[in-house]
Chain A
Amino acid sequence: MAEMASVPGTSATAGDLLALLRSGAAATRSDLRRVTGLSRSAVVSRVNALADAGLVLVGAELPSTGGRPPGSLVFNTDAGTVLAVAIGRSRSQVAVFDLGGRELGSSAVDHEVGAGPEAVMPVVATQLRTLLSDDMPPVLGVGLSLPGTVDPVRAVSVDTPVMAGWDGVELAPYLADLTRAPLIVAGDTDILARSERRDGHATRYRDLLVVKASTGLGLGIIADGRIVSGSRGGAGEIGHTKVAAAAGRPCRCGAIGCVETVAGGWALVAALQAEGRPIGHIRDLVALAVAGAPDAKQLLRESARQLGEVLAVAINLLNPQVVVLGGDMAAAFDVYAAGVRESVYALSTALATSDLQVLPSTYGDRAGLVGCAVAALDEVLSPAAVDRRLRGAGSGGTR
């Protein structure tokens, strides 16, 4: 899940060495010497600093694992925890993960559609508190996702059509009683893309488009192994692309003619409700499709076909190896993938589709939590953050 470890050379810090151990590029002191070119004494002092901080377990400290050499160094995934908070429109999930990305506990809270942070965040904090026990290692970071666009500098929601009360609101104060560890805030599609970096599709491919097809429609982008968020964090807002099929239809974002008005989960639900159908959430429609209801399959496939028309442009632009389908609608994967494929293979260039794959998201409805954990871990275990921590200058680590 770590960024692919670059070889830092003789300027390698303790944080760089930890990154090499986490990525598997090195497993002993001599590996570290060989990979970095650092002297024996430099490696020893840096490893000692990491071991003193509890981030690395050395040789004899290791539990017997059959055959591991005595000089082995292992990243200590029990040295801390990170919290994951995936805020949704009507439901939010929270979880605790160890530093290896293993989930230690989770829960979910339902709230009113459109509830603001003053209503939701205290409940989130309470839920997190119940998940944390006194014998758990300290919280090192918190990853939090919000639907829509997040300003990458200010780490606050911006221009989010359905989360209006959240725009511009700093969320760290709501968690201040729980932890002072750094808070990383990202948009839900970025988070979905990040989830694929934990033993998911992004560990096998470097160019991916990760679709979130739920109430809204969004796109996470991984290009050449990196998450692309855009200059204002607005990359991947494909749900608000204007399409001819949606001409004249008002969107929840305030604009007219967005593809979401014909293909977003909210639009499908609204259309069914207008017909008097007992559909409360897009998940209800997806459940019908999975159970085989022909009209539900027809609606989802048509949504996917419309989305696919916009996605085809993104595919021509970025030439991904894989399109990953996530979100509530993608739970009916065969149906949704069929619609996406139909448009994409017809409209994208023959070259871009020649070996394109359409795959389901690795973590399904838990992808938000996994992605938040990955975001937090990438931040708090980055070489710079680790070095700050070793110098005693890091913030947080207490709760």
Chain B
Amino acid sequence: MRFKVGRPHIGRYADRFDLPGSTSGLAATFLGVSSLLLDDGETAVLTDGYFSRPSLARVGLGRIAPDEARIRSVLDRARIDRLAAVAPVHTHFDHALDSAVVARQTGAVVAGGTSAARLARGAGLDPDRVRVVTPGEPVSFGGFALTWIQSEHCPPDRFPGEIAEPVVPPARARAYRCGEAWSILVEHAGGRTALVQGSAGFVPGALAGRDAEVAYLGVGQLGIQSHDYIRTYWAQTVEAVGAREVVLLHWDDFFRPLDQPLRALPYAGDDLDVTMTVLTDLADRQGVGLHFPTVWRAEDPWSLIAPSR
């Protein structure tokens, strides 16, 4: 592949930042990469909670650690005071670096696999605030029921393998190994359902028979895969759960803080234009809505779907 400099312009897809705002009830707020706040007004759960967003130089050359001030400012800005659970989609630093600190600041448990548990304990989180989930078994948090389904990381997995020992920050980025990669199914007591697919990987057939009205779909590194891979990924996620609306995650350059305008990942690691070419075609042919979330904004993709239950 020829090396391209620069990055795609996210403005080319401006008309897809078109989700309805949440007026009441269930709301989903995108907070960068695969961090998604789900809040029904009484209970809130958060995937990842990655807010430190250290620079590329720091990630590449130094040791990284949660930035408590940046985490606090994001929690304040997003008006997050209590969380029931923080659920890392896997344990790479761009998902799970801050999960334990966010849990500590909000009274939440960190819920995930054994790698997430070791990461949380290494970060000093009280063991009774760490919950190792059983794949396929729903866990309730207020009105939310979350079910973790084993998935895969999108190739290439730069830091593969389990986290075998607690990781104590500051640590090298490579210490944040992938661990278990999850598809997280969300069912709300009001009947609304979603799939949060943090990484653009899949286990064939893993989501067969599952239902989700909305798919929050990670697309990080998807643009450097073959068109066949992209189509298969869509089939194994969006089509498998029968989602009617798709909202894209993990497209923003996570090497700069959230208080700067979001921009796409550089061509060096991804190509959002390729992803969008393939996904737009699939979405159009299948009559599925394809959207980007607006960071910080409480949105309601379910309102685009006629009540079906």
Contacts and interface: CB of A to CB of B under 8 A. Distances in A.
Contact of A298 (B12, B297, B298): B12
A150 interface: no
A334 B19 CA distance: 10
Task: Tell me what chain A mostly uses at the interface: helix, strand, loop, or mixed.
Answer: helix
Given A345-B295, A346-B295, A339 B78 contact: no
Given A298-B9, A305-B261, A346-B261, A335 B14 contact: yes
B259 interface: yes
B14 A350 contact: no
Contacts of A334: 14-18
A307 to B, nearest CB: 13
Interface residues of A, number: 29
Given A342-B17, A346-B259, A297 B296 contact: no
Give the most central of B13, B15, B259: most A CB within 10 Å: B15
Nearest to A290: B15
A341 B14 CA distance: 11
Contacts of A336: 14
Contacts of B76: 350
A275 B12 CA distance: 19
Contacts of B261: 305, 342-343, 346
A103 interface: no
Given A342-B261, A342-B262, A350-B77, A301 B296 contact: no
Interface stretch (A9-17, A181-189, A351-359, A387-395): A351-359
B295 to A, nearest CB: 7
Interface in B1-34: 9, 11-18, 21, 23
A350 B79 contact: yes
Contacts of A346: 258-259, 261, 295-296
Contact of A341 (B258, B259, B297): B297
Interface in A298-343: 298-302, 304-305, 332, 334-339, 341-343
Interface string B230-244: 000000000000000
Contacts of B21: 355-357
A295 interface: yes
Task: Tell me what chain B mostly uses at the interface: helix, strand, loop, or mixed.
Answer: loop
Interface string B281-304: 000000000000011111000000
A350 B79 CA distance: 7
Contact of A300 (B14, B259, B262): B14
A345 B297 contact: yes
A297 B294 contact: no
A357 to B, nearest CB: 6
B14 A301 contact: yes
Contacts of A304: 14
A294 interface: yes
Nearest to B76: A350
A345 B294 contact: yes
Interface string A200-237: 00000000000000000000000000000000000000
Contacts of A335: 14-15
Nearest to B22: A355
A345 B12 contact: no
Contacts of B23: 355
A176 B12 CA distance: 51
Contacts of A302: 11
A121 B79 CA distance: 54
Contacts of B11: 297-302, 339
A302 B261 CA distance: 11
Interface in B90-123: none
A355 B295 CA distance: 15
Interface string A348-375: 0010011111000000000000000000
Contacts of B262: 342
Contacts of B16: 334, 338
A332 B261 CA distance: 21
Nearest to A332: B15
Contact of A297 (B15, B78, B79): B15
A350 B295 contact: no
Nearest to A302: B11
A376 B11 CA distance: 41
B87 to A, nearest CB: 23
A353 B79 CA distance: 11
Nearest to B296: A345
A8 to B, nearest CB: 37
A322 B258 CA distance: 25
Given A341-B17, A346-B261, A297 B295 contact: no
B295 A342 contact: yes
Interface of B: 9, 11-18, 21, 23, 76-79, 258-259, 261-262, 294-298
Interface of A: 289, 294-295, 297-302, 304-305, 332, 334-339, 341-343, 345-346, 350, 353-357
26 contacts: A289-B15, A294-B12, A297-B11, A297-B15, A301-B14, A302-B11, A305-B261, A334-B16, A335-B14, A336-B14, A338-B15, A339-B14, A342-B17, A342-B261, A342-B262, A342-B294, A342-B295, A343-B261, A345-B295, A346-B258, A346-B259, A346-B295, A350-B79, A353-B296, A355-B23, A356-B21
Given A345-B296, A350-B79, 4 more contacts: A295-B12, A334-B15, A338-B294, A346-B296
